[in-house]
Structure 1
Amino acid sequence: MSSHSIYHNFIIKVSLKEVFDAVSHPQHLDNWWTLKSSGEPKLGTTYNLNFTDAYDWYGKVAVCEPNNSFHIKMTKSDKDWEPTTFGFDLQEHDQGTYVRFSHVNWPEMNDHLKFSSFCWGMLLNGLKDYLEKGTVIPFENRN
């Protein structure tokens, strides 16, 4: 059985540490992605990724290398996201940080995957604006 993946590569003009913190610390996640989140960037810890009462999801830290790599394996979500892992691999770049985002192991190449890919593109652009310009888009305006 094949699986499908989403990839986005881009540059953020800030340090590795600033990007790592923004993708791994709940107080930052809530500024560009989640409504409210909790967790701590340590291997094996659980994150609560809350978007609404209906979308109150959980994942476990699968990879955590400070200022380098951070991935979460979903443990409680909807059926399409359940087998997936999303994450960030960071590399120093002369303009700041080169970000390789991945969201892998989707069971089907369906509309939800395609919609999620679009949403990730928008959200990751929001992450870039958050770090480069200090822009925080209110949660209700992120979709």
Structure 2
Amino acid sequence: MKVIKEGFTIYHNFPIKALSNKVFKAIANPDELVHWWPLKCSGKPTIGAEYNFFFGEPYNWFGEVVECKENTSFHIKMTKSDKDWNPTTFGFDLFEKDDGVTWVHFFHKGWIEQNDHFKHSSYCWALLLNGLKNYVEKGIIIPFEKRN
């Protein structure tokens, strides 16, 4: 019997004071992703579409949309990145509450080991997701070179 190992996962759950459609646009629309994550981005929020996340050379990464439910979920399977990220999938699941707050359940799964890059990526995601929150709630855009 073959045992399948799923690897390790980064999780971050947090509220954003906005409706889910606004949060979804910020996580799935390349024109808005660049306000809180990559320097440049392209792609369409449809299953099977390719996204390009460009962070400056040599960080020109690609992923495939593996789940996309408008205003509910958006997941990307990395296809061309560095060796630690290649086997991984990251995603956002959105849960809108009655009081105009959307809870974001973020994950980045499939890490082979909990190495220094895993730990650093978890920290970076926390900072970037706070940038997402500030962008959606307050319109704050942190310049790319200061997103570290």
Which one of the candidate residues 100, 114, 119 is aligned to 2:119? 114
Equivalent residue runs for 1:1-143 within 5 Å: 1=5, 3-93=7-97, 94-143=99-148
For residues 109 and 92 of structure 1, the distance between their equivalents in structure 2, rounded to whole angstroms, comes to: 32
Identity %: 57
Q: Return 5+ residue gaps in structure 2 as ranges.
A: none
The number of equivalent residue pairs is: 143
Instruction: Give the C-alpha shift of residue 53 in structure 1.
Output: 1.4
Report the CA distance shift for 1:2/1:67 in structure 2 as closer, same or farther (over 3 A). closer
RMSD: 0.8
- Would the aligned equivalents of 2:19 and 2:100 in 1 still touch at CA under 8 Å? no
For the residues of structure 1 that align with 2:73 and 2:56, how far apart are their CA atoms? 27
Give a deviation string over 1:79-104, Cα, whole Å, max 9, x none: 00000000000001235101000000
User: Tell me, which stretches of 5 or more residues in structure 1 are unaligned?
Assistant: none
Q: 1 CA distance for matches of 2:16 and 2:58?
A: 32
What is the TM-score when the length of structure 1 is the normalising length?
A: 0.98
Larger radius of gyration: 2
**SS in structure 2 at match of 1:88:** strand
What is the letter of the counterpart of residue 129 of structure 1? N
TM-score scaled to structure 2, two decimals?
A: 0.95
